[in-house]
């Protein structure tokens, strides 16, 4: 099996830009807002999101309402 390229980008805009430029390989978009702060292994659960919203509010003053606008 031949080697393949994996591009890990720092956001959707970068991913879309590289795809538009016809870069070959696979892409993973890393959404850095989930790379810091407390989390749990049950991703997507009520506890997971409660922890994430509390962290984003206390660290960055981002509310649930603001977060939905960003997304």
CA 31 to chain CA mean position, Å:
2
Check residues 48 and 19 and name the one with the higher pLDDT.
Answer: 19
Whether the pLDDT of residue 24 is over 80: the answer is yes
Whether the pLDDT of residue 70 is over 70: the answer is no
Whether the pLDDT of residue 25 is over 60: the answer is yes
- Looking at the DSSP assignment, which residues form a beta bridge with residue 26? 6
Q: Is the pTM of this model over 0.75?
A: no
What does the alpha-carbon distance between residue 71 and residue 52 come to, in Å, rounded to a whole number?
Answer: 14
- Supply 64's token pair: 């649930």
Q: What is the tens place of the pLDDT at every residue in 29-61? A: 877 666 788 778 887 889 988 988 898 889 888
- Mean per-residue pLDDT for 10-38? 86
């Amino acid at each position: 099996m031949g080697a393949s390229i994996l591009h890990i980008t720092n956001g959707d805009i970068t991913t879309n830009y590289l795809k538009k430029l016809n870069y070959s390989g696979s892409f993973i978009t890393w959404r850095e807002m989930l790379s810091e702060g407390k989390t749990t292994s049950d991703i997507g659960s009520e506890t997971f999101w409660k922890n994430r919203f509390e962290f984003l509010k206390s660290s960055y003053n981002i509310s649930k309402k603001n977060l939905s606008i960003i997304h």
